Chain A
Amino acid sequence: MSEMTYREALRSTLRREMQRDDSVVLLGEEIGVFEGSYKITSGLLAEFGETRVRDTPIAEEGFIGAGIGMAMLGMRPVVEVMTINFTLLAIDQIVNHAAKIYAMFGGQVAVPMVIRTPGGGGQQLAATHSQNLEVWYAHVPGLKVVAPSNPADAKALLTASIRDDDPVLFLENLALYNTKGEVPDGEQVGEIGKAAVAKPGTDVTVVSYSRATLIALEVARQFEKQGVSVEVVDLRSLRPLDRETVCASVRKTSRAVVLEDDWLTYGVGAELAATIQEGAFDYLDAPVRRVAAAEIPLPYAKPLENAALPTADDLTKVINEVLDATRFTG
């Protein structure tokens, strides 16, 4: 075990996979000389050279699409997109091409590429630069969407994503890069599509992913002090979705709240609520509740941004409402 940041976990994993497999090539804007907008790739150009760490022009559709072509010829491109907002310029390549090529051509050629990109708001970057659009990709068969919340999972799941033969959208978050955690040494290959019980509990289940998991864990610790046992399920992957782990938790606690950074309507929580009502209906003591972003293009002004984004206080309030609705007394 060693303690490291989420950023370091990503960097050391990229490095390890590049050492292991020559066909792993990094592409992206400012990832080489500039060392990455969020410094994930720092040092890699110096170590691996320009052919392995390829700076691209600002041409998301072009270079994400180029990643698909490289993958079709058996390479393993890892494409960094500065933020998930800019993947929209390439959504045709991702959705109509990366996700389709294997199935539509009868399973002849797979597309083993990874698109690494951070989502997230809360940095006053305003409406176009603060979105959580992962659910758009999670909606698409043929793609995988992975969203680790801590450095250990970042390592294990990035390794798995690079070695996976299908296209993976690997979701990071601006607010996670500096967070620290214990990371097992040596090779770690995670299983894509397996949720984790990040904190066991018995009274209420909170389901979340990526950055929101950190908030859920913090809130769970506070409730613990008041004698309420919160179980936190960290999805880690949105597609495939580990419905079993979610429903098993709710069957145990009878109460469920989803904490998500995306917008509420048609969001991740909507899929989870539907899953829970199907897989744990008879066990539920209260309706499934969702804590999600207010449905507005996110404003720049700090007070408005704060009001629009889900916080620990919002989650606490909703957990209390669920407990009250079920006359929870501990």
Chain B
Amino acid sequence: MSGSTGSPTTGRAAAAGGVTPETLKDYYAQMVLIRSFELRASEMYQRAKIGGYCHLNLGEEATVVGLMAALRPSDYLFTTYRDHGYALSRGLGAGRIMAELFGKATGVSGGRGGSMHLFDQKARMLGGYGIVGGQIPPATGAALALTYRGGPGPEAEAVMCLMGDGTTNIGAFHESLNLAALWHLPIVYVIINNQLGMGTPVEKAAAEPELYKRGCSYRMPGVRVHGGDVMAVREAAAAALDLARTQRQPSILEAMSYRLRGHSVVDPAKYRSQEDTQQARDEDPVPAFRAQLIESGVLDDDSATAIEADAERQVAAAVAFADESPDPEVADLFVHAYATPVAGTPHRLPGDPVISVPADDPGDVPDEGGRS
């Protein structure tokens, strides 16, 4: 069993061993797509096409792609509100995701959820969640459900539950880890440690800031990986998922990552030091992976540029699709109130009467004078 080791696995070895150039190109293409999508989302927010809160995966691209590369279509994914990149790599489609951000009827959640709440049952992406830690108990329960579907094995389904570093301080995290360990559930808790929860550094929030160790009171193993290295992330995630599948051993995977921008698009991140901001830029995984692929001959400048241009095209098409898509109809406001027709549920707009008095029933006619 992989114990609690702090040493990040390195990706170059993995890249050399048995990964085809096509796969590496695909990972680069996904990372670039996320980068373009997020930059455009930020711009669309400034242009008021997107409202509410909007959290970006900028700086997290290698982690996103590595995790999603390890996750099989048959596995289930629960994420946080910082979910655009995961949805893209899970194949939800840039157009339908952008449409959700625009609040359009064609969006992945029908315009009901927005940026924080991307969902696609077919893709087994069971939601982005806006309440910190809200996804952890349901993800644990999904893993419990899997134990009723079948036994462990290399083909068994598993659950991946994502969260940020700050989220490991919420009670539900600890309750869920205990349940998962106690019941031997096939789940991987992935902590994306970008070292900040809004403005709070991880050391100011977690008494054990080496977060992969936080499972130790539940005898749950944990591994820390360099989140800027897509192959290392993929490898570590595949190993953790394998533990879940074959041994029903839940575990923690901590991916060390950086947030290139503020907490959300409206946060100027003034609380961050110059050095920290500089380090985040230096660690930017997208140009690093590009350079690595060019160095190893998988890409040259032309083919890399072509991939980037293609991402731009996809994102432009996504914006056009979102723009042209219709708003949800106000008449459909109540369609999803309940999964079944429920008698007596009020489908009223504000100010509508609660009850209609039959017109031909005079009832108890008041005195002519009204007030006495």
Contacts and interface: CB of A to CB of B under 8 A. Distances in A.
A311 interface: yes
B169 A299 contact: no
A55 B204 contact: yes
A244 to B, nearest CB: 20
B114 A126 contact: yes
Interface in B81-133: 103-105, 109, 111-114, 116-117, 130-133
Contacts of A307: 330, 333, 349
Interface in B158-175: 166-167, 169-172
Contacts of A299: 111-112, 328, 333
Interface in B348-362: 348-351, 353-354
Contacts of A55: 200, 204
B329 to A, nearest CB: 8
B351 A315 contact: yes
Nearest to A273: B354
B198 interface: yes
Contacts of A301: 103-105, 111-112, 114, 327-328
Interface of chain B, main secondary structure: loop
Contacts, number: 153
Contacts of B271: 33-34
Interface residues of A, number: 53
Contacts of B53: 125, 129
B47 interface: no
A308 B114 contact: no
Contacts of B104: 301
A318 to B, nearest CB: 5
A91 interface: no
Given A57-B206, A59-B170, A86 B131 contact: yes
Contacts of A291: 350-351
Interface string A281-311: 0110100011111111101111110011111
A178 interface: no
Given A57-B206, A304-B112, A89 B171 contact: yes
B348 to A, nearest CB: 6
Given A30-B198, A128-B134, A303 B328 contact: yes
Given A58-B169, A304-B330, 18 more contacts: A30-B200, A33-B199, A57-B197, A58-B166, A89-B131, A123-B51, A125-B130, A129-B130, A254-B370, A295-B345, A297-B112, A300-B103, A300-B111, A300-B117, A301-B104, A301-B327, A310-B351, A314-B351
Interface of A: 29-30, 33-34, 37, 55, 57-62, 85-86, 89, 123-129, 254, 264-265, 282-283, 285, 289-297, 299-304, 307-311, 314-315, 317-318, 326
